Structure 1
Amino acid sequence: MVSRRTARDLRNENRFEVLHALFELGPSTRQELARHTGLSSATVATLVTEFLSEGVLHIATVERNTGGRPQERLTIDPDRGRIVGVDVAETYVDATVYDLALGALGHGEVALDEHENGQAYVVDGIIRAIESAVEASGTEHERIIGVGVSMPGHVHPDAGVSVFAPNWDWHDVHIEEMLEKSLQISVYVDNPLKAVILSEMWFGVGRVVDSMAVVNLGTGVGAGIAIDGSLIRGATNNAGEWGHTLLQLDGRQCRCGRRGCVEAYLGVHGLETTLAEIDPEHPALRQPRQRDFVEAVADGLTAGDPALMDLARRTSHYLAAALGDLVNLLNVPTVTLTGWTSNALAEWLVPAVRDELPDHVMPGSLPDLTVEASQVPGNAVALGMAAFTLEQFLIRLGLASPARTRPQADPDRGLDQSRHGHV
C-alpha cells in the first residue's frame, strides 16, 4: 500500500526544488525563486533560511534599490563540501570531484580489463580512480561529503546491491558496503541509465522539455527515461533496458542469453561483429581494447575508409529502427545520445538516423521529434551520480526527502494544487 503524502513530505521535496532552481538560474533573489518554482514567497523564505543555517546557501550580493528594501541574491556555496561522481563501466572507471554547486574540480580514470571480473579487482579500480581524481582536485579527504558510484547492470540503490551484471557474472554483490569500508566515506550506488537521465534533466535538454529518452551507447546500451518531468525507475529500478529489447528475431547472440537484442547490434561487440561481416580482415578489428576499436573507427570515418563508412551506414540503420520502437512506445519528443561510443561516432550516426527515423516512427509521434547528441558537459554518468549524492547529503542534513523529478503542490497553497516544471 502506498502511504498518503503529507504536508511535511511536500515541504521536504520543495527544499530540493529550490536548490535545483539555483542550478538553473544562478544567483537569485527569494522572489525570483518563488516565481521560478511556483512556491509561495513564504515557503521559499522558510526554506532559504534552513539552507543558510546549514551553509548550503550563502548570500552572493545585496542589491540596494532606490526606495525599496535591499534584496539578497542567494547562491549555492560551492565550498560547503566536495562530492565524487564515479562512472564504472566494463572497460574503465571514470571519477570526477565536484564542488557542492556541481562544478568539476578534478578527474581520474583507470582502465579495466574487460575480461577480468573479480570483485576485488573492480573495487581496486574504483578506489584508484577516486584517489586520482581527489589528488587532481587538491581535495582533502575530510571535505568529501559523499561518493556516488554508477555500476553496470541491475542495481538496487536502497540496498547498494549489484543484482545482475551480465558481463561480470555478479549476483547480490554489496558493492556499497565494500566501498564504504575502504573509503570511510558515505557511498550511494545506482544504475548509469538513471544517472544519465538525471544529468540530462538538470543540465541538458531537460531544461526545456519534460519528456525525453537518453540513449547510452558503449559496451552495453540502454535508455534513461523521463516522462512529464519524472524519472522512470520501474518496479525494481530496472526500467530502461532498451538494449535487451528485440531488434531481430533469432538474430545475433546477446551476452544476456537472448538472441537478436538491440545491444548485439549497437554495443561495441555488435559494431565489431558488423565490421567483421563487412571486412573480416579490417585492421580496426585487431585493436585490443573496445575503446581503441571505437577510436580507430572514428579515425577511419574521418579518412573516408569505405568499410567503415559501410559500418556507419548499417549501424545507423539498426539505431534508427531501435529508436523508432522506443519512440513509438514512449511518445517522447526528444532523444539524446550519450556515452563514449556516441561521443566518438555521433557526427556520422545522428544525421543518418534523423533521415531514416520517419520510416520507423508512427505519424502521431513524429511531429517535432528531435534526435541529437547530448550537450551535458563532461561525463554525464559521473555528473548524474554527483547530483544523486548531493540529494543524499541533504537528506542526512534533514533538509530533504528523496527528491522527485517533478514538483509537488506547495503545501501553503493546498495539497491538491500542482505546478508546471521539473526538478
Structure 2
Amino acid sequence: MVARRTARDLRSENRFEVLHALFELGPSTRQELARHTGLSPATVATLVTEFLSEGVLRIATVENNTGGRPQERLTVDPGRGRIVGVDVAETYVDATVYDLALGALGQGEVALDEHENDPSYVADGIVRAIESAVAAGGAEHEHIIGVSVSMPGHVHPEAGVSVFAPNWDWRDVHIEKMLAHLLVPVYVDNPLKAVVLSEMWFGAGRVVDTMAVVNLGTGVGAGIAIDGALVRGTTNNAGEWGHTLLELDGRPCRCGRRGCVEAYLGAPGLRTTLAGIDPEHRTLRQPRQRDFVEAVAEGLAEGDPALKDLAHRTAHYLAAALGDLVNMLNVPTVTLTGWASEALAAHLLPAVRDELPHHVMPGSLPGLTVEPSRVPGNAVALGMAAFTLQQFLNRLGLGSPAGTGPWADRGRGLGPAGLGQQPGQGL
C-alpha cells in the first residue's frame, strides 16, 4: 500500500525541484526557476526565501532591466560547507571533497588488497582516503557537513549497515558505527544508487528522465531511474542486474548462484574468459584486478589477437545482458560507468550496439542509446555527495525524499552554524 502524500511531502518535493533546477540551469532568476520546475512564482519565491535564510543560496548578480524591477540571479553558495563523497570498492577507496555546489576540491585514494575482507581493514582504508582528500582539498574540519560512503552489495541506508557484500562475504556489518569517530554525520548507501543520482543531476538525466546506469568493475550492477525517480526497491536492493541469469548452470558466482551476469562481465569474469582463450597469456600474470583490466585495454590497442577474442566474447555477453535489462524496463538510455567500463568501453560498445537489435524486443529498440557516462570525475563519489547535500537540507528542515528513497537523521547534533560538529572536533 502506498502511503498518502501529505502537504509537507509536497512542499519538500518542491524544495528539491528548485535546488535541482539550480544545478541544471546554473545561476537563475526566480522566474526562470518557476518556468523550469512548473511551480508557481509565489511558491518559488517562498522557497528561495527559505534557502537564502539558511545560507544555502546566495545572490550571484543583480540585473537592472530597463523599465522593470531589478532581477536577482540565485546560485548555491559553495562556501556554506564541505561534503565528502566516498567510493568504496573491493580494490580501492576513493574519497573526494566537494563544496556545497558539488564542485570537487580535493581527492584521495587508498588501494585495498582484494583478498583482504576484514571490515576493520576496509574501515581503516576509508578513514585514510578521507583524510587524504580533506588535506588535498584544503578543507577545514569544522566546515565538513557530512560524509557519504558507498559500499558494494546490499546496504540498509537508514541503519548504516552493509547487509550483504558477496565479494567480501560480509553480512550485517555496521559500517556507520565503525566510522562514528569521524564526528560528522555519516550516510551509507549503495554505488548503484549513487551513480544513477549523479547521472540524473550531471549526466544523461539532464535530457531524459528514464534510464539505466550500468556499473562495470569487480562487480556489476545497474542503477535505475524511472520518470525522474531513483528506483530503490522494497529493501534498497533494486539494480542487482549483475546477479540475474546469463547462462543456466554456468560459471559459479560469488553470490552463490551459477551463471550470473557478473560472473562474465565483472573483472574476475574477464580473467576467466581470457584463461579459457589462452591459459598462458601474459596479461593473466597481473595479480591486481585494475592492473589486469588496464593491461587488457593496452593489449587491445596493440591488436593482440587473444584480447580481441576476449573483447568479442565480452561484448556478446554484455549485449545479451543489456537486452534483458532493456526488455524488462523499456528504458531509452543506458550509460556505462565504473573503472572497468572507463578502460574498455571504447573497445566493447561498437560491437554491443551492432548486436543489441538481436536481443532487444522491437518495441523497446527505437531511440535506444548506449553510451559511456559523461559525468565528470568519480560518479559514485559525486552521487554520494549529492545524497549528503540532501541529508544536510533535511537536517535544516529543507530536505526532500523525492526520488532518493528513505532518509534518517540518526540523532547527530549540528555544531556551530549547523556545520555538523562541535568546536575542536574533526576528522
What TM-score bracket applies, with the shorter chain setting the length?
over 0.9
Whole-angstrom CA distance in 2 between matches of 1:213 and 1:195: 12
Q: TM-score, normalised by structure 1?
A: 0.95
Checking the alignment, whether the CA contact within 8 Å between 1:248 and 1:261 is kept in structure 2 is: yes
Partner of 2:375: 376
Deviation at 1:214, TM superposition (A): 0.4
What is the root-mean-square deviation of aligned Cα atoms in Å? Answer: 1.0
Give the residue type in structure 2 aligned to 1:178.
M
Structural mapping, 1:27-42, within 5 Å: 27-42=27-42
Checking the alignment, whether the CA contact within 8 Å between 1:150 and 1:382 is kept in structure 2 is: yes
Give the residue type in structure 2 aligned to 1:145.
I
Give the residue type in structure 1 aligned to 2:200.
M
Whole-angstrom CA distance in 1 between matches of 2:84 and 2:402: 19
- 2:196 is the alignment partner of 1:232: no
Partner of 2:414: none
Partner of 2:9: 9
Deviation at 1:2, TM superposition (A): 4.1
Checking the alignment, whether the CA contact within 8 Å between 1:213 and 1:223 is kept in structure 2 is: yes
Give the residue type in structure 1 aligned to 2:11.
R
Whole-angstrom CA distance in 1 between matches of 2:404 and 2:119: 33
Give the residue type in structure 2 aligned to 1:22.
L
Structural mapping, 1:11-410, within 5 Å: 11-179=11-179, 181-404=180-403
Structure 1, unmatched stretches of 5+, are 407-423
Whole-angstrom CA distance in 1 between matches of 2:400 and 2:334: 29
Deviation at 1:4, TM superposition (A): 2.1
Give the residue type in structure 1 aligned to 2:67.
G
Give the residue type in structure 2 aligned to 1:362.
M
Whole-angstrom CA distance in 2 between matches of 1:405 and 1:40: 24
Deviations 1:18-44 (CA, angstroms, capped at 9, x unpaired):
011000000000000000000000100
Deviations 1:278-325 (CA, angstroms, capped at 9, x unpaired):
100011101010000000001000111111011000000000000000
Q: TM-score, normalised by structure 2?
A: 0.94
Partner of 2:421: none
Partner of 1:418: none
Whole-angstrom CA distance in 2 between matches of 1:17 and 1:379: 24
Deviations 1:190-245 (CA, angstroms, capped at 9, x unpaired):
00000011111111111111111000000000000111111110010000000000
SS in structure 1 opposite 2:312?
Answer: helix
SS in structure 2 opposite 1:171?
Answer: strand
Give the residue type in structure 2 aligned to 1:166.
P
Give the residue type in structure 1 aligned to 2:148.
G
Write out the 4+ residue segments of structure 1 that deviate beyond 6 Å after TM superposition. Answer: none
Give the residue type in structure 1 aligned to 2:195.
V
Checking the alignment, whether the CA contact within 8 Å between 2:297 and 2:344 is kept in structure 1 is: yes
Whole-angstrom CA distance in 1 between matches of 2:258 and 2:348: 24
Checking the alignment, whether the CA contact within 8 Å between 1:275 and 1:307 is kept in structure 2 is: yes
SS in structure 1 opposite 2:187?
Answer: strand
Give the residue type in structure 2 aligned to 1:240.
G
Q: When the two structures are aligned, how many residues end up with a matched partner?
A: 405
What percentage of aligned pairs have identical amino acids? Answer: 85
Checking the alignment, whether the CA contact within 8 Å between 1:229 and 1:405 is kept in structure 2 is: no
Deviation at 1:401, TM superposition (A): 3.1
Deviations 1:129-176 (CA, angstroms, capped at 9, x unpaired):
000000000001011000010001100101111000112221111111
Checking the alignment, whether the CA contact within 8 Å between 1:21 and 1:33 is kept in structure 2 is: yes
SS in structure 1 opposite 2:128?
Answer: helix
Deviation at 1:182, TM superposition (A): 2.2
Whole-angstrom CA distance in 1 between matches of 2:380 and 2:101: 17
Deviation at 1:379, TM superposition (A): 0.6
Deviation at 1:404, TM superposition (A): 2.4
SS in structure 1 opposite 2:68?
Answer: coil
SS in structure 2 opposite 1:235?
Answer: coil
Give the residue type in structure 2 aligned to 1:101.
A
Give the residue type in structure 1 aligned to 2:314.
T
SS in structure 1 opposite 2:273?
Answer: helix
Structure 2, unmatched stretches of 5+, are 406-427
Checking the alignment, whether the CA contact within 8 Å between 1:394 and 1:400 is kept in structure 2 is: yes
Whole-angstrom CA distance in 2 between matches of 1:383 and 1:30: 27
Whole-angstrom CA distance in 1 between matches of 2:177 and 2:66: 57
Whole-angstrom CA distance in 1 between matches of 2:185 and 2:88: 17
Whole-angstrom CA distance in 2 between matches of 1:359 and 1:169: 36
Give the residue type in structure 2 aligned to 1:350.
L
SS in structure 2 opposite 1:162?
Answer: strand
